[in-house]
Chains A and B, each alone.
Chain A
Amino acid sequence: MKLRDIGKRYGRQTWVLTHVQVDLPPGELIAFSGGNGSGKSTLLRIVVGVTRPTTGRVTDRPALIGYVPDRFPPDERMSALDYLTHMGRVSGLRGEAAGRRAESLLERLALVGGADTALRALSKGNAQKVALAQALMVPPQLLVLDEPWSGLDSSAHGVLAEIMNEITRAGGTLVFTDHRESVVRANATRIYRVAGGSVTLDENPTRMTRPTETRLVLRAPVNEYGIPRTADWRSCAGVVTAHDNGAHTTIHVTSAYADELILAALREGWSMVEAGMVHTSQVSVHGGAS
């Protein structure tokens, strides 16, 4: 998907956006970073297709789009389940399928307060979970999130990261905004800086990469004779190295597979001693032609 020479102004007022050139390739986590009033929310609405640009063209916009606003309006007497089911139906799902999908999303996001409670009775963090869920009713090819971490409870941040990874791994495009530099650098594979209506690609080659490996130290379960169990960790998905020093096993695993591995180990009776990130020395540059 591409934005070419996009400009936006309302009536005869100043231009909110001018000469914006943006590439949104599939499989990438793209951030629009900028302060308040920089035009990033308008840009997001143009990406999603709700706002028509005054000049320029948007090409190759995917058919299935999800949009998560920065705040979900609280004043609604409908329940979360009903609202999601309605949105699912509007997107083309059949009634039953929409209901089931809504329930499973609310369960995954751990909505506190009940799926049948009126939206206006939910806390802000829980209302934002509904905002996220509605965008996922039909798995989107393009997911656009406006300040996603700000409104969500910290307990849901893990699920949000999982969801973002799932979408990009499946070849979808993910676009988000945040005004905090640390959040943008920690999550984005491509950063656009938005300021005063202009958008520039951040080609800074010295920026920190996302850590790609996780280091796990596990303790094996012992049998009735006191002999620790062994396991062939190298055959597990994502494992880069595994060293057994008798008491503990140290495993380096690609971060995307870390959770699966930990879950499997815990199920088999292994104990986790330590977990941390490994920063690779290789720096990757994102910029230029896609």
Chain B
Amino acid sequence: MIALCRYTMAVMLHSQRYMHPMLLFVAVAVIFTGSSDSVPVAAIYGPVSGVLFVCSAWLTAALVNVEDPVRRVISVVHAGRSRSVLLATVLVALAMSLLVSGVLLFAPLLIGDHSITPDDLMVGVLAQLTGASTGVAIGLIVSRLVIRRTGYALVTALVLMAALSFTQGLPPINRLIRLLAYTPDAPGLLPATAGCAAVAVALLAASTLFTDFIAARRD
């Protein structure tokens, strides 16, 4: 699995496809974190995890789509199982999303004037995990493995992301953003955020299994 992840990472870096979504994320996140001196830390996490949701979906779809189908077959033969190859893609997309959001979000907060408690930090980690996991889950569903045509994939992505972001109270994304925006200092924030993260990870697991099932039928 480590070897597969290294290979997937190398393919991603060589293709430079990660740059578009990551640069967009960095640009938007900097705007949020830069203009938030007088705002409670938790209130930043909401919108940033929302942006991470969109960008990690984009990154995941790009990562899956960049690999040529014939080369994917070769990787599957070497790995022994197609699920391993898919899992490596999921892990790399997730790791990349969390790394970029983590560095961007926590470095300036630690260096700057904000007083940040361990609870705040934990909420931040869980919020980013929620955004990244849900994003990767959507990214898999709209990738070439499930939806062949880019037009349909894009429309499906927009519909799913809008539904998850704007449906009132729907976990994990909308619920998380509302939680962090309207009750940023509530004592019950940590368990609630953990709940959203758990839903997001479950969504990711379901999406991975679904994508693997569809891809296997198509092969």
Q: Give the B-binding residues of A (Cβ under 8 A).
A: 10-11, 45, 48-52, 65-67, 69, 71-73, 75-78, 82, 86-87, 89-91, 131, 134-135, 137
Interchain CA distance A10-B214 in the complex, whole Å = 11
15 chain-A/chain-B pairs, Cβ below 8 angstroms: A10-B217, A45-B73, A50-B76, A50-B77, A51-B219, A52-B216, A52-B217, A67-B74, A69-B70, A73-B68, A73-B70, A76-B71, A90-B79, A134-B74, A137-B78
Q: Is B65 an interface residue (CB 8 A)?
A: no
CB pair A69 B73 closer than 8 Å: yes
Residues from chain A with a CB closer than 8 A to the CB of B70 are 69, 71-73
Closest residue of chain A to B79, judged by CB? Answer: A90
Interchain CA distance A73-B71 in the complex, whole Å = 7
Lowest 6 CB-CB distances: which A-B pairs, in order? Answer: A89-B3, A73-B68, A86-B7, A77-B14, A90-B78, A90-B3
Q: How many B residues, CB 8 Å from partner? A: 23
Q: A45-B73, A89-B3 in contact; A52/B68 too (CB < 8 A)? A: no
Closest residue of chain B to A42, judged by CB? Answer: B219
Interchain CA distance A75-B68 in the complex, whole Å = 8
How many cross-chain pairs have Cβ atoms below 8 Å apart between A and B? 63
Residues from chain A with a CB closer than 8 A to the CB of B216 are 52
Interchain CA distance A66-B71 in the complex, whole Å = 13
Min Cβ gap A115→B in Å is 16
Q: Give the A-binding residues of B (Cβ under 8 A).
A: 3-4, 6-7, 10-11, 14-15, 68, 70-71, 73-79, 82, 216-219
CB pair A50 B73 closer than 8 Å: yes
Residues from chain B with a CB closer than 8 A to the CB of A10 are 217-218
Closest residue of chain B to A94, judged by CB? Answer: B3
